[in-house]
Protein backbone atom coordinates (compact mmCIF):
# COMPACT_ATOMS: atom_id res chain seq x y z
CA UNK A 1 0.00 0.00 0.00
CA UNK A 2 1.24 3.46 -0.81
CA UNK A 3 1.69 5.82 2.05
CA UNK A 4 0.78 9.45 2.30
CA UNK A 5 2.68 10.87 5.23
CA UNK A 6 0.93 13.65 7.01
CA UNK A 7 1.03 15.56 10.23
CA UNK A 8 -1.72 17.10 12.27
CA UNK A 9 -0.95 20.00 14.59
CA UNK A 10 -3.62 20.52 17.20
CA UNK A 11 -3.29 24.19 18.14
CA UNK A 12 -5.66 23.64 21.04
CA UNK A 13 -3.26 21.20 22.61
CA UNK A 14 -0.07 23.09 21.75
CA UNK A 15 1.38 24.94 24.72
CA UNK A 16 4.27 26.50 22.79
CA UNK A 17 6.75 24.64 24.98
CA UNK A 18 9.19 23.97 22.11
CA UNK A 19 9.92 20.37 23.07
CA UNK A 20 9.50 19.67 19.34
CA UNK A 21 12.16 22.24 18.49
CA UNK A 22 14.83 20.60 20.63
CA UNK A 23 13.77 17.10 19.60
CA UNK A 24 14.26 18.09 15.99
CA UNK A 25 17.71 19.56 16.64
CA UNK A 26 18.80 16.41 18.40
CA UNK A 27 17.42 14.08 15.76
CA UNK A 28 18.45 15.93 12.65
CA UNK A 29 21.90 17.33 13.48
CA UNK A 30 20.70 20.89 13.16
CA UNK A 31 23.73 23.09 13.82
CA UNK A 32 23.95 25.80 16.44
CA UNK A 33 24.39 29.22 14.86
CA UNK A 34 25.77 31.16 17.83
CA UNK A 35 24.87 34.63 18.98
CA UNK A 36 26.24 36.66 16.08
CA UNK A 37 24.77 34.51 13.37
CA UNK A 38 21.50 34.35 15.31
CA UNK A 39 21.43 38.14 15.33
CA UNK A 40 21.79 38.06 11.55
CA UNK A 41 18.73 35.87 11.22
CA UNK A 42 20.48 32.66 10.35
CA UNK A 43 19.32 30.36 13.10
CA UNK A 44 18.07 27.06 11.77
CA UNK A 45 15.01 25.44 13.34
CA UNK A 46 13.38 22.90 11.05
CA UNK A 47 10.33 23.27 13.21
CA UNK A 48 9.67 26.58 14.89
CA UNK A 49 6.88 27.72 17.16
CA UNK A 50 5.48 30.92 15.73
CA UNK A 51 4.02 33.32 18.21
CA UNK A 52 1.47 36.00 17.37
CA UNK A 53 0.25 38.65 19.77
CA UNK A 54 -3.21 40.11 19.51
CA UNK A 55 -4.62 42.93 21.57
CA UNK A 56 -3.03 45.16 24.15
CA UNK A 57 -2.73 45.00 27.90
CA UNK A 58 -4.89 44.14 29.83
CA UNK A 59 -6.34 41.86 27.16
CA UNK A 60 -3.38 40.49 25.25
CA UNK A 61 -3.75 37.17 23.53
CA UNK A 62 -1.09 34.86 22.22
CA UNK A 63 -1.41 32.30 19.49
CA UNK A 64 1.24 29.68 18.99
CA UNK A 65 1.67 27.85 15.73
CA UNK A 66 4.37 25.26 15.19
CA UNK A 67 5.52 25.67 11.59
CA UNK A 68 7.56 23.04 9.82
CA UNK A 69 7.90 22.08 6.18
CA UNK A 70 4.34 21.49 5.04
CA UNK A 71 5.45 18.76 2.60
CA UNK A 72 3.17 20.28 -0.03
CA UNK A 73 1.68 18.22 -2.83
CA UNK A 74 2.03 21.23 -5.11
CA UNK A 75 5.24 22.50 -3.61
CA UNK A 76 6.47 25.81 -5.04
CA UNK A 77 10.01 24.90 -4.04
CA UNK A 78 10.20 21.93 -6.38
CA UNK A 79 9.77 23.29 -9.92
CA UNK A 80 12.09 26.24 -9.32
CA UNK A 81 15.13 24.17 -8.39
CA UNK A 82 17.42 23.97 -11.43
CA UNK A 83 19.12 20.79 -10.28
CA UNK A 84 16.25 18.70 -8.91
CA UNK A 85 17.70 19.02 -5.40
CA UNK A 86 14.18 19.80 -4.24
CA UNK A 87 12.36 16.69 -5.26
CA UNK A 88 8.99 15.04 -4.73
CA UNK A 89 9.28 11.44 -3.60
CA UNK A 90 6.76 8.82 -4.60
CA UNK A 91 5.48 8.88 -1.01
CA UNK A 92 4.67 12.54 -1.36
CA UNK A 93 7.57 13.93 0.65
CA UNK A 94 9.44 17.04 -0.43
CA UNK A 95 12.92 15.65 -0.29
CA UNK A 96 15.94 17.88 -0.26
CA UNK A 97 18.82 16.09 -1.96
CA UNK A 98 21.77 17.77 -0.33
CA UNK A 99 24.28 16.47 -2.86
CA UNK A 100 22.35 17.99 -5.76
CA UNK A 101 21.92 21.36 -4.12
CA UNK A 102 24.09 24.11 -5.56
CA UNK A 103 22.63 26.81 -3.35
CA UNK A 104 20.57 29.07 -5.59
CA UNK A 105 18.23 29.52 -2.61
CA UNK A 106 15.40 29.88 -5.10
CA UNK A 107 13.41 27.23 -3.23
CA UNK A 108 13.78 29.26 -0.05
CA UNK A 109 12.29 32.27 -1.77
CA UNK A 110 9.52 30.29 -3.40
CA UNK A 111 8.45 28.63 -0.16
CA UNK A 112 5.53 30.61 1.27
CA UNK A 113 6.18 29.20 4.74
CA UNK A 114 9.85 30.25 4.86
CA UNK A 115 10.75 26.86 6.29
CA UNK A 116 13.77 26.30 4.08
CA UNK A 117 17.04 27.16 5.78
CA UNK A 118 20.35 27.94 4.15
CA UNK A 119 23.73 26.95 5.49
CA UNK A 120 25.65 30.19 5.47
CA UNK A 121 28.72 28.51 6.91
CA UNK A 122 30.01 25.04 7.42
CA UNK A 123 28.45 23.78 10.63
CA UNK A 124 30.72 23.53 13.64
CA UNK A 125 30.28 21.50 16.77
CA UNK A 126 32.71 22.27 19.54
CA UNK A 127 34.28 18.97 20.46
CA UNK A 128 33.00 16.72 21.90
CA UNK A 129 29.48 17.99 21.16
CA UNK A 130 29.87 16.34 17.77
CA UNK A 131 29.59 12.95 19.44
CA UNK A 132 25.89 13.61 19.77
CA UNK A 133 25.36 13.71 16.00
CA UNK A 134 22.87 11.22 14.67
CA UNK A 135 24.69 8.91 12.25
CA UNK A 136 21.44 8.31 10.37
CA UNK A 137 21.26 11.92 9.23
CA UNK A 138 23.87 13.59 7.07
CA UNK A 139 25.24 16.94 8.15
CA UNK A 140 24.96 19.74 5.66
CA UNK A 141 27.89 21.71 4.32
CA UNK A 142 28.07 25.39 3.56
CA UNK A 143 26.00 26.66 0.66
CA UNK A 144 23.09 24.28 0.66
CA UNK A 145 19.49 24.38 1.76
CA UNK A 146 18.01 22.17 4.42
CA UNK A 147 14.60 21.71 5.91
CA UNK A 148 12.28 19.35 7.73
CA UNK A 149 12.25 15.89 6.15
CA UNK A 150 9.38 14.42 8.18
CA UNK A 151 12.23 12.41 9.75
CA UNK A 152 12.63 10.43 6.55
CA UNK A 153 15.35 8.37 8.23
CA UNK A 154 12.77 7.07 10.69
CA UNK A 155 10.27 6.38 7.91
CA UNK A 156 12.89 4.48 5.95
CA UNK A 157 14.09 2.52 8.97
CA UNK A 158 10.54 1.45 9.76
CA UNK A 159 9.82 0.54 6.16
CA UNK A 160 12.98 -1.53 5.90
CA UNK A 161 12.16 -3.27 9.15
CA UNK A 162 8.61 -4.00 7.99
CA UNK A 163 9.88 -5.28 4.67
CA UNK A 164 12.36 -7.54 6.42
CA UNK A 165 9.54 -8.90 8.52
CA UNK A 166 7.33 -9.19 5.42
CA UNK A 167 4.53 -7.10 6.82
CA UNK A 168 2.91 -3.71 6.40
CA UNK A 169 3.84 -0.77 8.52
CA UNK A 170 1.83 -0.58 11.70
CA UNK A 171 0.22 2.68 12.73
CA UNK A 172 2.19 4.17 15.57
CA UNK A 173 5.24 1.94 15.18
CA UNK A 174 7.30 5.04 14.51
CA UNK A 175 6.79 8.76 14.47
CA UNK A 176 8.79 11.89 13.87
CA UNK A 177 11.08 13.23 16.56
CA UNK A 178 8.87 16.28 17.17
CA UNK A 179 5.67 14.30 17.50
CA UNK A 180 7.43 11.79 19.70
CA UNK A 181 8.49 14.47 22.15
CA UNK A 182 5.36 16.64 22.22
CA UNK A 183 4.01 16.36 25.79
CA UNK A 184 0.40 17.51 25.14
CA UNK A 185 0.28 15.37 21.97
CA UNK A 186 -0.35 18.39 19.79
CA UNK A 187 1.70 16.85 16.97
CA UNK A 188 0.44 13.65 15.41
CA UNK A 189 2.18 11.95 12.51
CA UNK A 190 0.86 9.17 10.34
CA UNK A 191 -0.38 7.80 7.08
CA UNK A 192 -3.28 9.63 5.49
CA UNK A 193 -3.91 6.73 3.14
CA UNK A 194 -4.88 4.62 6.11
CA UNK A 195 -8.44 5.70 6.92
CA UNK A 196 -8.08 4.23 10.42
CA UNK A 197 -5.01 6.24 11.33
CA UNK A 198 -5.04 8.98 13.90
CA UNK A 199 -4.11 11.62 11.33
CA UNK A 200 -6.98 10.51 9.09
CA UNK A 201 -9.37 10.77 12.00
CA UNK A 202 -8.08 14.21 12.98
CA UNK A 203 -8.12 15.43 9.39
CA UNK A 204 -11.85 14.92 9.42
CA UNK A 205 -12.21 17.29 12.37
CA UNK A 206 -14.23 20.41 11.73
CA UNK A 207 -11.34 22.38 13.22
CA UNK A 208 -9.02 21.21 10.43
CA UNK A 209 -7.42 23.91 8.30
CA UNK A 210 -4.35 24.23 6.14
CA UNK A 211 -1.82 26.99 6.45
CA UNK A 212 -1.79 29.49 3.55
CA UNK A 213 -4.08 27.23 1.59
CA UNK A 214 -4.87 30.10 -0.76
CA UNK A 215 -1.36 29.96 -2.17
CA UNK A 216 -2.34 26.65 -3.69
CA UNK A 217 0.39 24.53 -2.18
CA UNK A 218 -1.81 21.65 -0.98
CA UNK A 219 0.15 21.05 2.24
CA UNK A 220 0.35 17.71 4.00
CA UNK A 221 0.25 19.35 7.40
CA UNK A 222 -3.17 20.02 8.86
CA UNK A 223 -3.77 22.48 11.66
CA UNK A 224 -6.63 22.04 14.09
CA UNK A 225 -7.68 25.49 15.17
CA UNK A 226 -7.83 26.47 18.82
CA UNK A 227 -11.09 25.70 20.52
CA UNK A 228 -13.00 28.12 22.68
CA UNK A 229 -14.64 27.61 26.00
CA UNK A 230 -18.36 26.98 25.58
CA UNK A 231 -18.08 28.56 22.13
CA UNK A 232 -17.26 31.95 23.63
CA UNK A 233 -15.19 34.33 21.61
CA UNK A 234 -11.86 34.73 23.28
Partner 1 sequence: MDRRDFIKISAIAGTTAALDGCGQPEHQLIRFVPEEDLVPGVAAWKPGVCAHCSAGCGLLVRVMPGEAEVVRGNKVGLIQMGLAKKLEGNPGHPVNRGKLCPRGQAGVQSLYHPDRIRGPLKRSGARGSGSFEEIGWDEALGTLVSHLTTLRKGDGASSLAFLIGPMRSQRRALIERFLRAFGAPPPVTSELFDDAVLRRANALSFGHTQLPTFDLGRVNYLVSFGSDFLGTWNSPASQAIGYGEMRQGHSGRRAKLVQIEPRMSLTGASADEWIPCRLGYEGVLALGIARELLAKFPEAKTLAAGRLLAGWSDGLPDYAPASIERLTGVPAMTVARLASEIAENVPALSLISGAPLAGTNGLFNALSVNALNALVGALTPTGEPDVLQFTPNAPLAPDFAAATAESPGCFSAVEALVREILLDQPHAPQVLLLYGTNPVFAMPPQSQVRAALEKVPFIASFDGILDDSSALADLILPDHSPLESWVDQIPESGTTVETVSLAPPAVYPLHDTRAMPGVLLEVAHRLGGEVADALPWKTFDEMLKAAYAPLMKAGGSIAATSEDDFWEKMQSQGGWWGQADPEAAQPAVGPRRRAKRGKAVSTPAPHAPLAFQPPEFDGSETDFPFHLLPFATQAFGDGTLAHLPWMQELPDPLTTAMWGSWVEINPRTAEARGIRQGDLIELTSPQGSLRAPALLTPGIAPDVIAMPVGQGHENYGRYASHRGANPISILSPKKEAETGALAWAATRVRIARVGEGKLVLFAGGMSRFPEEKGLR
Partner 2 sequence: MVMNRDDIARLNEDLLRPLFRTSGRFYWAALILALIVIVALAAWGYQLWAGFGVAGLNRPVYWAFYITNFVFWIGISHAGTLISAILRLANARWRRPVTRCAEVITVFALMIGASFPVIHLGRPWLAFWLFPYPSERRIWPNFRSPLVWDFFAITTYLTGSTTFLLLPIIPDWALVRDKAKGWRRKLYSVLALGWRGTPRQWSRLETAMHIMAVAIIPVAVSVHTIVSWDFAMAPVPMWHSTVFGPYFVAGAIFSGIAALILAMAILRKVLHLEDYLTPLHFDNLGKLLLMMSLFWLYFIVAERLTVWYGNETSEMAVYWPTQRGPFAPLYWTMIGCNFLVPFIILSIKQLRTVAGTVVASSTIVVGMWIERFLIIVPPLERKYLPFAWGTYHPRPVEIIITAGTFAAMALLYLLFVKFVPIISIWELKAGVRQESVVPIPASLLRAPDLIESPSPSGLTRGPAGFSREVS
Q: Which is nearer to partner 2, 118 or 150 (CB)?
A: 118
Taking the C-alpha atoms of residue 186 and residue 223, their distance in angstroms, rounded to an integer, is 10
Least distance from C-beta 190 to partner 2, angstroms? 25
**CA–CA dist 141, 123 (Å, integer):** 7
Which long-range contacts does 26-30 make (Cβ < 8 Å, 24+ apart)? 26/132, 26/134, 26/177, 27/134, 27/137, 27/151, 27/176, 27/177, 28/134, 28/137, 28/149, 28/151, 28/177, 29/123, 29/133, 29/134, 29/137, 29/138, 29/139
| Phi, psi torsion values for 157, nearest 5 degrees | -60, -45
Residue 124 beta carbon to partner 1: minimum distance, rounded to whole angstroms:
11
Provide the β-strand partners of residue 88. 94
Question: Taking the complex as a whole, how short is the minimal distance between the CB of residue 180 and partner 2, in angstroms?
Answer: 24
Closest contact distance (angstroms) between CB of 119 and partner 1 is 15
Q: For residue 75, list its beta bridge partners.
A: none
Rounded to an integer, what distance in angstroms lies between the CA atom of residue 177 and that of residue 191?
Answer: 16
For the bound state, the minimum distance from the C-beta of residue 182 to partner 1, rounded and expressed in Å, comes to 7
Beta strand pairing call for 5-10 and 48-54: unpaired
38 binds, among partner 1, partner 2, none (CB under 5 to 8 A by kind): partner 1
- Binding partner selected for residue 230 from partner 2, partner 1, none, CB under the kind-specific 5 to 8 Å limit: partner 1
56 binds, among partner 2, partner 1, none (CB under 5 to 8 A by kind): partner 1
Q: Which does 46 bind (CB under 5 to 8 A by kind): partner 2, partner 1, none?
A: none
Minimum distance from residue 84 beta carbon to partner 2 (Å):
5
Q: What residue ranges bind partner 2 (CB under 8 A)?
A: 37, 40-42, 48, 50-52, 65, 67, 76, 79-84, 100-106, 108-110, 112-114, 117-122, 141-145, 212, 215-217
Which entry of partner 1, partner 2, none binds 172, CB below 5 to 8 A by partner kind? none
Which of 37/100 has CB closer to partner 1?
37
Which lies closer to partner 1 via its Cβ, residue 54 or residue 73? 54
By beta-carbon proximity to partner 1, the closer residue of 83 and 185 is 185
> Nearest to residue 106, comparing CAs of 97, 116, 98?
116
Q: Which does 79 bind (CB under 5 to 8 A by kind): partner 2, partner 1, none?
A: partner 2
Question: Residue 175: is it exposed, middle or buried by C-beta count within 10 angstroms (0-12/13-18/19+)?
Answer: buried
| Nearest CB to partner 2, comparing residues 100 and 207 | 100
Amino acid sequence: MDHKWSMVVDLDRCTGCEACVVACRAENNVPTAGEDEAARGRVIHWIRVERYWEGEFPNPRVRFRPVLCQQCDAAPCEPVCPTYASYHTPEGLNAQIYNRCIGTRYCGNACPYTVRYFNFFNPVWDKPLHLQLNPDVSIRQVGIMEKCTFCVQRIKAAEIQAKAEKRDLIEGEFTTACAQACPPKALVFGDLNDPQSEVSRLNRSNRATKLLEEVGTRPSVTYLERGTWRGEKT
